[in-house]
Structure 1
Amino acid sequence: MRFGKAVAPKGDRPGKSRTGTPRGWRHRILAVGAAALVLPIAAGAAPTAFAAPLSAPALRAPAGGYEELMVPSQMGPVKVQVQWAKHGGSAALYLLDGMAARDDKNAWSFETNAMQQFENDNVTLVMPVGGMSSFYTDWMAPSNINGQKTTYKWETFLTEELPNFLAGYGVSKTNNGIVGLSMSGSAALSLAALHRDQFKYAGSFSGALNLSQPGMREAVRMSMLRWGAFSADSLAPPWSPQWLRMDPFTVAPQLKGLPMRISVGSGLPGKHDSPQSADQVFNTGVGMGIEAVTLISTRSFEKRLRSIGIPATFDFPATGTHSWKYWEDQLWAGRPQILSALGA
């Protein structure tokens, strides 16, 4: 697991000239002067990283492989699972977790075969860890009912802190896609709308895409209590414009020209539903109900886009509940469009 920023390759580190001969006396004087500037810093707090020389080559993303990074943020260090682009390309696809996001792994990495889907493609998968019930937005305050210590600042992390950090590995800050499911389906579209300079593709699977329609804020409030006992009022007060800002239905005009894939099932059990116990039957029933609600919301969003002349790829399978294997299928179906949009 890496902390801090990537450094330049060993061949570019100071010490010898490009010909391999020792540097002259003038270089030694400069080195002593540089050391004198560094020592006062070392006497205080050690810096986390040193800036690369202006002459250093641009860093490239590692060619393939998997890594876990700890990324500094206002929320403290955030774990990010990364599968590097196969050939060291700079494009990246952000995969956001759902309402029940865990603190150890992003569910895309173990509930689906997302990593296998893209392992031979020239795009880096970026899977932030954490964010239960966060809607991946910047909150007003820590949750006031579950003892949360820090204020969620997920929009800032995903659009400033994380891309700036990944740029040190050669990952582009302007050629990214973003995909979410359920809670993060709405987040993926709203973040893409608000940060068009960063995202070139967006996908929402079973997302609530009209948070302003009657009953949706109440549903959000109940869901946040169910997963982690988080307070919706700490996200934003009921009268706050933040609710409109994080609503894809409201920011839809800003999605013009953005390739998108938006899908939701009917709520009827399908090929990935085979409950074998009472608990599984109950969970399937819950998944049916949630998918039915998101279907209504997504259909409403479809009409919204059509009314303002914005095309998108919509998929409404005849079956499918609110569960990971259906979202895995949708990611695979969207893969060609993702690679095309990112030039990967």
Structure 2
Amino acid sequence: MRDGSVTVLGDTANEEHSLTDTGVSEVRPRKRIGRLRRAAMALGLSIALPLGLAVVAVGPTANAAFDPGAQDVWADSAMGPIKSRVWRASDGNRNKVVYLLDGLRARTDLNGWEIETNVGPFLASQGINVVMPVGGQSSFYTDWYAPSNFNGQKTTYKWETFLTQNLPDRLAAGDLGFSRSRVGVVGISMGGSAALTLAAYHPNQFSYAGSLSGYLNISAPGMREAIRVAMLDSGGYNVDSMWGPPWNPAWLRNDPFVFAPRLRDNGTRVWVSAASGLPGVYNTPQTPIDYFNTATGMGLEALALANSRAFQVRMASIGANNVTYNFPAQGTHMWGYWQDQIYNMKNDLYANIG
């Protein structure tokens, strides 16, 4: 992709879109009945099979989960000490840095990127310092209003503050000395929308944002209800403790479809990817639970694709030309496909950070 251009990779869409006066995307399919049926099916799957389930069905792993080549870096925060895993760039530079954000079922011991992929050492070998924050299940990496009152959460999530203040302070200090500006942030699923949000509101820190199978139109019909159900399933979290009830302005503040002009005006380099939902090379189900998770991943990825396509139309409607879109013809909501996207975006990422 070159500056001043919009790149679409694997573009097989056959929809027509428009924006209403209220900024809500309307999809006007050429084959209306079939596409509406598929959209309804995807939405139904997203509610019945919540958004976090497919992250469990990761397929073949690329490493042994814990990488001794990384180091633990702890940073204090309002949530207590938070661990990140860090891979230093092989060439020793301290300017090219990317944060990799996890999905809805983020664990407290390791980031899913480390557990399921080899992108930490890979990007480090390419001259990029990699930072993987650990934790944040169902957090959307945002600052919550209050602790979740459904599951006895003790502290209020303050992930946006952590990622934009506490963590960069720690990374800039001591033996690390990492740059605080022109940093990249890339996330999957829940972390995809969060990556775009962080870049939109903190342009002095983030010059690059990537959403892989992210939900970029959360004000669309059914999305807020789907997120509510997903967060209950993933840890029993109450979404009202995050952004308040559905009519609270915080929902709009964190919706990439709504804040798209910020990304355009900031000049943020953006990478958006979502696959078709059709099984591909990483889908090799053998047991009943494998087939269940594959079906779940198909529905989730179809929903992510619909969201990402809506975001594409929104950016085009406001004249934004700073986005690369990659829509593979095959792929479900799985780590193998997200690892492939990191390999695809590596050159673009390297050129636009540091």
TM-score interval, normalised by the smaller of the two chains: 0.7 to 0.9
Q: Distance in 1 between matches of 2:314 and 2:287?
A: 40
Aligned residues: 280
- Aligned-partner SS, 2:289: helix
TM-score (normalised: structure 1): 0.80
Residue number in structure 2 paired with 1:261:
271
User: 1:113, CA displacement in angstroms?
Assistant: 1.2
Q: Return the letter of the residue paired with 1:200.
A: S
- Aligned-partner SS, 2:124: coil
User: 1:200, CA displacement in angstroms?
Assistant: 1.0
Task: Compare 117-126 and 324-333 and name the one that shifted more.
Answer: 117-126
Q: Distance in 2 between matches of 1:81 and 1:245?
A: 29
Higher relative contact order (CA 8 A, sep 6+): 2
Q: Distance in 2 between matches of 1:322 and 1:240?
A: 29
Identity of counterpart residues, as a percentage?
Answer: 52
Any stretches of 5+ residues in structure 1 without a counterpart? 1-64
Any stretches of 5+ residues in structure 2 without a counterpart? 1-68
- Aligned-partner SS, 1:144: coil
Residue number in structure 2 paired with 1:124:
129
Residue number in structure 2 paired with 1:274:
284
Q: Return the letter of the residue paired with 1:253.
A: P
5 Å-filtered alignment, 1:1-344, equals: 66-90=70-94, 91-168=96-173, 169-238=176-245, 239-256=247-264, 257-311=267-321, 312-343=323-354
TM-score (normalised: structure 2): 0.77
Q: Return the letter of the residue paired with 2:192.
A: G
- Aligned-partner SS, 2:300: helix
Q: Return the letter of the residue paired with 1:278.
A: P
The CA deviation string for residues 224-246 of structure 1, in whole angstroms up to 9 with x for no partner, is 01111100011021232111111
The CA deviation string for residues 240-261 of structure 1, in whole angstroms up to 9 with x for no partner, is 2111111111111111221111
Q: Return the letter of the residue paired with 2:307.
A: S
Q: Distance in 2 between matches of 1:121 and 1:319?
A: 27
Q: Distance in 2 between matches of 1:242 and 1:126?
A: 27
Q: Distance in 2 between matches of 1:116 and 1:151?
A: 33
Q: Distance in 2 between matches of 1:288 and 1:185?
A: 18
User: 1:110, CA displacement in angstroms?
Assistant: 1.8
- Aligned-partner SS, 1:224: helix
Task: State the 4+ residue runs in structure 1 displaced beyond 2 angstroms.
Answer: none
For the Cα contact (< 8 Å) 2:87–2:121, is it kept in 1?
A: no
Higher Rg of the two aligned structures: 1
